[in-house]
């Protein structure tokens, strides 16, 4: 009989194959560290789940099978370099930070030191370990980027589940498990609402209380956390009233994402309008300028300016200089701060007794963002 962890690996691998976007024909170059074929990405995903699935189940109380499914969205978009570095880390907290592009902020030694300093004073339960680990991660809930989505229904208790009883709570999914799944079990959309495989750390939702049985309030909070002493929606008897709420979701992902507590019995309708996720590592977008041809006089030393970069391509600019003349030598290249609009130059010395041709241009780059 297979173990829960290896069943989780099988489920995670299947989910990964379903969620992976269709790629252009032709395999990825095996010698290119910036590319991963679907097979390579799947293999790295299985390694990650095999290495840390048991730890997540033991410390965070999340079944490995559920965690592996919820991690598909992160595995699909993870930068190849970050993915490989994550598998080298010695702590789960460091590995997860590495996977999301913030590993440089959290060395394994820092995680171990924090556990060593805080655990004795807070007890050694799994819950305590999870709290310390979440605190160490930190960066997965900071520096987040907001992405708006077309408003989409993810919860409607009038359709599924029934009203939430007075002084009770109910847990819900805010992000679809994988591409192609839906929210119908919660009374929501038969689509994934465009929020599968997004690696979100928080979601923006419109929460509507529908005909509560008495006056009171609702509180929306992250799954797995103690309910805060704050109201997300206030209502009176028979109201239909809503509010926009930004609520964090567990990281690492758990079985559910958020909880609704209600003081009075009431139906609830929830629409997602956006999500917050850690910035993704992106490669520079670069273009070459036109190549200019210049003629350097006999027995002369001089420099020539290269064409200016297009607007916006100034995150990194590199000059390139070349010549076919064996008697012409480079005297260096760099930035020409004295000539507006001409970012780089090439300097030359011609040691021959006749004029010679030299060539120059620039590579101009910009940060494309997410």
Q: Are 362 and 319 in contact (CB under 8 A)?
A: yes
Say what the pLDDT of residue 145 is: 81
Q: Final residue of a domain: which of 141, 165, 184?
A: 141
Residue 13's pLDDT is: 42
Which of 66, 235, 268, 245 lies closest to 161 in space, CA to CA? 268
Neighbours of 117 (CB within 10 A): 10
Is residue 42 within 8 A of residue 17, CB to CB? The reply is yes
Residue 242 neighbours by CB under 8 Å, 6+ apart: 206, 207, 208, 209, 233, 269
Predicted pLDDT of residue 123: 52
8 & 127 share domain: yes
Q: Is 70 helix (H, G, I), strand (E, B) or coil?
A: helix
**Residue 241 is part of a domain; what is its CATH number?**
2.60.120
Q: Are residues 135 and 149 both part of a single domain? A: no
Which among 336, 263, 274 has a CA at the least distance from the CA of 306?
336
pLDDT-based confidence at residue 20 (cuts at 50, 70, 90): very low
150 and 85 housed in the same domain: no
- The answer, yes or no, to whether residue 5 has pLDDT greater than 50, is no
Q: Return the pLDDT at 284.
A: 79
299: region left, alpha or beta (phi > 0 left; psi from -120 to 50 alpha): left
Question: What pLDDT is stored for residue 186 in this prediction?
Answer: 96
User: 279-321: per-residue pLDDT in tens?
Assistant: 666 677 899 999 999 999 999 999 999 998 888 887 778 999 9
Q: Is the pLDDT of residue 194 over 90?
A: no
For the cut 60, the answer to whether the pLDDT of residue 28 exceeds it is no
Give percent above pLDDT 70 in the chain: 75
**Of all helices (H) and strands (E), which one includes residue 112?**
helix 108-122
The tokens for 326 are 């064996």
Q: SS3 for 352?
A: coil
Separation of alpha carbons 269 and 155, rounded Å:
5
In sequence order, which residues have a C-beta less than 8 Å from that of residue 321 and are 6 or more positions away? Answer: 330, 333, 346, 348, 358, 359, 360
Q: pTM for the complete prediction? A: 0.54
**Is 304 within 8 Å of 320 (Cβ atoms)?**
no
Res. 140: pLDDT tops 90: no
Do 10 and 120 sit in the same domain of this protein?
yes
Which of 141, 174, 209 is the last residue before a domain boundary?
Answer: 141
- Give the chain's domain count: 3
Element (H, E) at 15: helix 4-19
Q: Which of 254, 277, 300 is the last residue of a domain?
A: 277
Amino acid 26: pLDDT: 33
Q: Is the peptide bond before 67 cis (omega within 30 degrees of 0)?
A: no
Among 43-47, 52-56, 169-173, 189-193, name the one with the lowest average pLDDT.
Answer: 52-56
* Residues 212 and 105 occupy one common structural domain: no
For range 42-54, the mean pLDDT: 90
Q: What is the pLDDT of residues 205-252, one digit of tens each?
A: 999 999 999 999 999 999 988 999 999 999 999 999 999 999 998 866
Task: Specify the residue for token string 């994550």.
Answer: 86
pLDDT, one tens digit per residue, over 76-116 is 777 888 888 889 988 887 787 777 666 555 677 766 666 66
212 DSSP 8-state letter? -
What confidence tier does 63 reach under pLDDT thresholds 50, 70, 90? Answer: confident
Note whether 177 and 101 are same-domain residues: no
Nearest by Cα to 306 from 277, 339, 261: 339
Q: Tell me the pLDDT tens digit for each residue of 311-355.
A: 888 777 899 999 999 999 999 999 887 766 667 999 999 999 999
Q: Do 173 and 137 share a structural domain?
A: no
Domain shared by 150 and 246, yes or no: yes
Q: Are residues 272 and 326 in the same domain?
A: no
Tokens in use for 40? 């390579």
- For 76, 85, 222, 281, 367, the CA distances from 284, given in Å and listed in that order, are 20, 20, 35, 10, 5
Q: What is the model's pLDDT at position 185? A: 94
Res 19: pLDDT: 40
Q: Is 287 helix (H, G, I), strand (E, B) or coil?
A: strand
Pair (234, 339) in one structural domain: no
Q: Both 113 and 35 in a single domain?
A: yes
Question: Highest-confidence range of 6-10, 132-136, 236-240, 308-312, by mean pLDDT?
Answer: 236-240
Which residues constitute the domain of residue 358?
Answer: 285-366
d(CA 154, CA 175): 9
User: Residue 312: its pLDDT value, please?
Assistant: 82
């Amino acid at each position: 009989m297979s173990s829960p962890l290896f069943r989780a690996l099988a489920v995670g691998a299947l989910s990964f194959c379903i969620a992976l976007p269709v790629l252009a024909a032709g395999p990825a170059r095996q010698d290119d560290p910036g590319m991963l074929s679907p097979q390579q990405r799947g293999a790295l995903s299985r390694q990650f789940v095999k290495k840390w699935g048991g730890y997540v189940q033991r410390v965070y109380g999340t079944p490995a099978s559920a965690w592996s499914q919820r991690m598909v969205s992160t595995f699909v978009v993870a930068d190849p370099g970050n993915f490989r570095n994550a598998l080298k880390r010695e702590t789960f907290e460091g590995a997860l930070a590495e996977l999301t592009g913030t590993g440089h902020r959290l060395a394994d030694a820092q995680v171990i030191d924090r556990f060593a300093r805080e655990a004795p004073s807070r007890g050694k339960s799994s819950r305590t370990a999870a709290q310390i680990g979440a605190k160490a991660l930190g960066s997965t809930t900071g520096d987040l980027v907001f992405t708006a989505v077309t408003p989409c229904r993810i919860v409607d208790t009038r359709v599924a589940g029934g009203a939430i009883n007075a002084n009770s709570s109910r847990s819900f999914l805010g992000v679809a498990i994988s591409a192609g799944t839906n929210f119908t079990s919660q009374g929501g959309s038969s689509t994934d609402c465009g929020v599968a495989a997004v690696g979100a750390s928080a979601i923006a939702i419109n929460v509507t209380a529908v005909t509560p049985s008495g006056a009171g309030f609702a509180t929306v909070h992250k799954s797995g956390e103690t309910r805060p002493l704050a109201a997300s929606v206030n209502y009176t008897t028979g109201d239909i009233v809503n509010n926009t709420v930004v609520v964090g979701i567990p990281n690492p992902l758990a079985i559910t994402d958020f909880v609704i507590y209600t003081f009075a019995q009431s139906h609830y309708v929830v629409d997602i309008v956006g999500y917050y996720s850690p910035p993704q590592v992106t490669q520079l977008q670069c273009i070459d300028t036109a190549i200019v041809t210049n003629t350097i006089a006999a027995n002369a030393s001089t420099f020539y300016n290269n064409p200016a970069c297009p607007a916006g391509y100034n995150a990194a600019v590199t000059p390139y200089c070349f010549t076919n003349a064996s008697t012409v030598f480079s005297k260096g290249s760099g930035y020409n701060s004295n000539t507006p609009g001409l970012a780089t130059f090439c300097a030359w010395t011609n040691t021959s007794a006749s004029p010679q041709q030299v060539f120059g241009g620039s590579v101009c780059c910009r940060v494309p963002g997410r």
